[in-house]
Structures are given as structure tokens and as C-alpha cells.
Copies of this chain bind each other. A is one copy, B any other.
């Protein structure tokens, strides 16, 4: 098999100069050519099966039409929709995403960041940010365009797209309070991760707004956004705060762990304890019981992040934006009135 055809090959076949062929092949510059030249060159390209060598182009233009995406872990069901949202938004612009998993490990994150830099990415979308992430400084010093998605970093030096966590937690708590719950715990996510911190802070605020006391609304920290961590947190919670009748979980994985631990200890959900998740990740509706949760538009978040990044690549001086997308409570089977309230209802 012979080597891949180049512009020169196409030019020879179309009987024009290399640069003419190159112009004909590039939509941006084909306007300055006579229509018949353009079509002749294009036909020659088609016949030869020509595809442009993006390395040569990238070397010349110093743009790769590639962006780097850093996520914690692709097998965490939260991220595939974000990634697809990014990919779909990039597609019409001819951009491609390079995806790397950090596993929440700063070392891995840093090495992937450098590797992506070597591949000349035009910018980054970071879904793995931790508070005070060193990446921020590095990207800022380099002047590399960067957009944060889902998680933020504390200092607003880059544009960010997320869900409206504050509102989501408020609505979740409103739902529980409306059902009659007054003893509501929060199974918070890990320290140093913005979504965990923001949701925990929002829990505190909302609970106060509802007129509940701190004693009625304990917060238990889970050390990761995982099922296991949710189970352990639930175990501890049940031991230290046995009177709670409802739980707002930091995310759906923690909620699932909670559901499992509840079942393991013989507590029925929602009869004994109501549980609200967060994210409405795939299969949250298939759990037992089907999880009441806050739906976050992950694909849209990814798409918006991509758009913001493209905007910044085109216009590096563009203003920094924080985009909070609306979330929505999805009520399913894991929440109900607390036992006492149900009893009162029956008496009324």
C-alpha cells in the first residue's frame, strides 16, 4: 500500500499548483478561486481519497482543533453525559476532545495535563477540579484557555458551568419538609470538592430558612462520592442520629449506598427513612426504591462548557462567566411522609 496522498498529489492530478489545491480544499479560502478550479480540485481529492494531514496543518497554524478534557473517572455515570455533551458541541466546529481520567489523583491530573499540552490542545475543560487546584495557576501562567465544568475551584479565575446546587438542595429540602419531615440529615460529599461544599452549605442555609435547628439537621461527611462511602456514612449516621427520618445525599452514588445500608440494617425506605439523591444519574429510577433525586442537566452542562471554551479560544479576552443551569426535583419512590406524620394523617 502506498503512502497517503498529499495536497501536491491532488494538485498534480488537477493540474494546478499546490497552493491552489490547498485553497480549493479549504472552505475558508476556496472563495477566491474560480468555481471550476475548485470543483476540479475537489474531484481530484475525492478520487485520490485525500484527507488533510492535521499534523502539518496544526504545525503551520499553531492550532490543533483539539481540546483536552480532564474528568475524574469515565466509569462514574456522571461523566459520560458531560463528555458526550462536550463532543456534540465541538463536532460542528471541527474540534475533537482528548479525554483523560484523573481518578482524583493530583499526580495523574498533572501528568495528563502536561501530556495534553504536548499534544497542542487549544484549551481545556476540567471536570476534575479540586479547591485550590494547582492546575489553575499553571493554566493561568500559560495563558491556556480553560473552562471548569460541574466543579469549581474556589477562585473565579476561569469560566465555569454547573448546576444550580443551591437551588437543588433548597428544593429537595422543601420537598422533604412539605412531606412533614423535621429531622433531616445530610450525607455530604468529600471536603475540598466544590459540589460537596456548596451542597453542604446550601443544606445549612435551607434548613435554617425552614426554621429547623442544627440539632434536627445533622451533617455527616462521606469521604468520597461513592456507594461504599455512602454506606459507611449511613452506618455512622444511624448510630449517632437514630431519630432522623430523612436523608439528603450529596449525590446519587451516596444515596445508593445509603439505600443499601438502610436495607442491610432492616430500615425500610421510604417507610422508615426517606432518601433524596442528587444528579439523577442513569438508572437512579431503577433502584429499589426508585430514587427521588435532583436532576442535573449534565449533557447540557458539557455542551455549554464547550461553547464557552470555543468562545474563549476565539476571543481570549472574553469576559469570565459562571453559568448555573437550572435543576429540577424528580419525585419517585424513595421519599414519603415520615411515619408519625403518616399516622397523624390517618387520624385526621
Contacts and interface: CB of A to CB of B under 8 A. Distances in A.
A167 to B, nearest CB: 25
A120 B84 contact: no
Contacts of A64: 55
B101 A286 contact: no
A208 B141 CA distance: 69
Nearest to A142: B1
B75 A80 contact: yes
Interface string A1-36: 100000000000000000000000000000000000
Contacts of A96: 98, 115, 119
Contact of A59 (B55, B75, B115): B55
A289 B288 CA distance: 8
A118 interface: yes
A256 B286 contact: yes
B53 A118 contact: yes
Interface in A64-81: 64, 73-75, 77, 80-81
Contacts of A322: none
Nearest to A97: B99
Contact of A282 (B59, B75, B142): B75
Contacts of A282: 75, 77, 283
Contacts of A98: 96, 98
Nearest to A79: B80
A1 B143 contact: yes
Interface string A100-124: 1100000000000011011110000
Contact of A101 (B51, B87, B260): B87
> Sorted from nearest, which 5 A-B pairs have the closest CB atoms?
A288-B288, A1-B143, A55-B58, A51-B118, A55-B59
30 contacts: A1-B141, A1-B142, A1-B143, A51-B114, A51-B117, A51-B118, A52-B118, A53-B59, A54-B118, A55-B55, A55-B56, A55-B59, A56-B59, A73-B84, A74-B80, A75-B84, A75-B282, A77-B77, A77-B282, A80-B80, A87-B99, A87-B101, A96-B98, A97-B99, A256-B283, A256-B286, A282-B283, A283-B283, A286-B287, A287-B287
Interface of A: 1, 51-56, 58-59, 64, 73-75, 77, 80-81, 83-84, 87, 96-101, 114-115, 117-120, 141-143, 256, 260, 282-283, 286-289
Given A51-B118, A77-B283, A282-B283, 6 more contacts: A55-B59, A75-B81, A77-B77, A87-B100, A286-B287, A287-B287
